[in-house]
Structure 1
Amino acid sequence: MTTPIPIRPATPTRTSTLLANLAHVSSRVAAAAAASSTTSTTTTSSAPRLIAVSKLKPASDILTLHQAPASHTHFGENYLQELIEKARLLPPTIKWHFIGGLQSNKCATLAREVRGLWAVESVDSAKKASLLDKGWGERDASLKDTDHEERLRVFVQVNTSGEAEKSGVEPGEEAVQLCRFIRERCPRLRLQGVMTIGAIARSRAVKEGEENADFVTLRKVRDERCSSVCLAVDCIVWCC
């Protein structure tokens, strides 16, 4: 095993920028959550979790945000090899989310080799779910932290926008069938919820006080369709 190369710290200017950006986004999320709690008829049991998307960013940026004073824990990556390398370099206390498009031939490797893998958020087929389940079962004990969950968290990706270039299952019965398959046929996976990537044009067109149609669709999938597989109210992810 090769010795990890020490990570050079971010410059003071870069550190200041990163901390300011995280604080700004976190405050916006908190404000939106507070506003929603006063107008929504749905009660959630947990606060929104902010995942810092760190794809193509240097390990020093991630380390800066993970250390005090920010102490941010959850980071998202799109590319398998980049994620494997960063997970080897960075502290095992980081909780990694794979948010990129899943390729069947890389599912087992993703589940088997990434230290600190907390969730895979882009599952869109039974085949990929089965391969993740297989890879998690082959995971080396040395990668497991003391607080390691027995099962890998996964989210089913739903194509709410209908865009051909987007991955994801259809928001109707197809989503229910995949959720049920994971719950019943993948014992090493924990069905955490549903996820969508909204159409960028719709996101830009939404005005303050309005709801994004893609997110409304995803909420209906959770509330009306996936209740049959016992998805909790707060098991939902917005990606925009």
Structure 2
Amino acid sequence: MTSTPETAATTLDQPTMARTTTLLTNLNTVLARISAASSTFPTTSTSTTRRHRPANKPVRLVAVSKLKPASDILALYSPSSLPEDETSLPSTTTTTTTTTTSIPSATQQLHFGENYFQELLEKSRVLPRGIKWHFIGGLQSNKCASLARDVRGLWAVESVDTEKKAKLLDKGWGERDISSLTEEERQQKLRVFVQVNTSGEEAKSGVEPAATPALCRYIREQCPRLKLQGLMTIGAIARSKESSNENADFVSLIETRQAVVESLGMTEQEADDFELSMGMSSDFEGAIALGSDQVRVGTTIFGERPKKAGANAGSTS
């Protein structure tokens, strides 16, 4: 029987030079596109369809590595881990000359996103603890406590859409084995994004925009171990392929964010820190143009991934 991401054991093989070169080239391209999109974003705007992102706050890239081997993640997190005998890769050979290709330089990628609990759990156990993991898939109530308690290096959960799930994450975070944690890690809260169903699709997870302020208030007031980091949306696939920057799902999330800021009476600093996680491989530049703080990019970096039977509707990368 073929193993699924929920049951297959994860092993850590060293990335090859060829694969590392491909991944770093792709990563550099994405980072350049993010930088270009960020440079054209207005630091002040009177438009209600743009979020005023602080000028000194860079856009965070989450590399979505679901269904990809742990070695791909290692290649981007620690490209210097290649064996010494793979410092260059023959690329062209003729009768007179041989040229070599060196590993492209790149900023170390720290943030990685996973959709499936078991796959994330196993990867977190074999990969370096400095990786900052984001859980971005559909969140099941019976996995919440273990997700918060057992995943090493969990930085954020981006798919909270009910009070029950928030409370279970809060409980699990309090049950962590703190013996191996630094004092800073012990005091740190678990960041959570509330997932908003901006497209209104029944197959999509997420809370309705109108109900979002109440859920955010619950997290702030009833979940002391959680930090309300912001709002996340996946949005409709058709809208993500439109050329216009005015993606209706992004506009809806911006408006929902403003409603939360006003409902919770956030200070100016709290509002600046309250983030938008929107934009994927096909539309992240448009999301940045509208003020996204974080984009989730998978296939543009890692290449196409195999289909998984039973996956939630809608891509997260």
Q: Which residue of 1 aligns with 2:277?
A: 237
Instruction: Determine which of 131, 156, 166 is the counterpart of 2:194.
Output: 156
Deviation at 1:224, TM superposition (A): 2.9
**What secondary structure sits across from 1:37 in the alignment?**
coil
Answering whether residue 153 of structure 2 is matched by residue 86 of structure 1, we say: no
- Aligned counterparts of 1:115 and 1:212: Cα–Cα separation in 2: 35
Q: Is the 8 A contact 1:120 1:155 kept in 2?
A: yes
Instruction: Determine which of 13, 20, 25 is the counterpart of 1:20.
Output: 25
**What secondary structure sits across from 1:16 in the alignment?**
helix
- Aligned counterparts of 1:167 and 1:136: Cα–Cα separation in 2: 23
- Aligned counterparts of 1:40 and 1:107: Cα–Cα separation in 2: 38
Q: Quick check: 62-71 or 114-123, which moved more? A: 62-71
Instruction: Determine which of 205, 208, 233 is the counterpart of 1:196.
Output: 233
Answering whether residue 256 of structure 2 is matched by residue 221 of structure 1, we say: yes
Q: Is the 8 A contact 1:157 1:169 kept in 2?
A: yes
Amino acid across the alignment from 1:15: T
Q: Which runs of 5+ in 1 are unaligned?
A: none
Q: Quick check: 98-107 or 36-45, which moved more? A: 36-45
Could you say if the C-alpha distance between residues 40 and 217 of structure 1 is closer, same or farther in structure 2, counting changes exceeding 3 Å? same
Amino acid across the alignment from 2:65: S
TM-score normalised per structure 2: 0.70
Instruction: Determine which of 204, 213, 216 is the counterpart of 1:166.
Output: 204
- Aligned counterparts of 1:179 and 1:94: Cα–Cα separation in 2: 27
- Aligned counterparts of 1:189 and 1:38: Cα–Cα separation in 2: 29
Answering whether residue 67 of structure 2 is matched by residue 56 of structure 1, we say: yes
Could you say if the C-alpha distance between residues 195 and 102 of structure 1 is closer, same or farther in structure 2, counting changes exceeding 3 Å? same
Q: Which residue of 1 aligns with 2:89?
A: none
- Aligned counterparts of 1:126 and 1:136: Cα–Cα separation in 2: 15
Deviation at 1:70, TM superposition (A): 3.6
Give the structure, 1 or 2, with the largest relative contact order (CA under 8 Å, sep 6 or more): 2
Q: Is the 8 A contact 1:116 1:145 kept in 2?
A: no
- Aligned counterparts of 1:110 and 1:47: Cα–Cα separation in 2: 28
Q: Which runs of 5+ in 2 are unaligned?
A: 1-8, 47-51, 80-105, 281-317
Answering whether residue 34 of structure 2 is matched by residue 29 of structure 1, we say: yes
**What secondary structure sits across from 2:158 in the alignment?**
strand
Amino acid across the alignment from 1:154: V
Deviation at 1:239, TM superposition (A): 4.0
Q: How large is the Cα RMSD of the aligned pairs?
A: 2.0
Answering whether residue 45 of structure 2 is matched by residue 7 of structure 1, we say: no
**What secondary structure sits across from 1:15 in the alignment?**
helix
Amino acid across the alignment from 1:140: D
Q: How many residues align?
A: 234
Q: Is the 8 A contact 1:50 1:74 kept in 2?
A: yes
Answering whether residue 163 of structure 2 is matched by residue 123 of structure 1, we say: no
Could you say if the C-alpha distance between residues 143 and 189 of structure 1 is closer, same or farther in structure 2, counting changes exceeding 3 Å? farther
Task: Percent identity, please.
Answer: 59
Q: Max radius of gyration: which structure?
A: 2
Q: Is the 8 A contact 1:78 1:99 kept in 2?
A: yes
Amino acid across the alignment from 2:247: N
- Aligned counterparts of 1:89 and 1:47: Cα–Cα separation in 2: 29
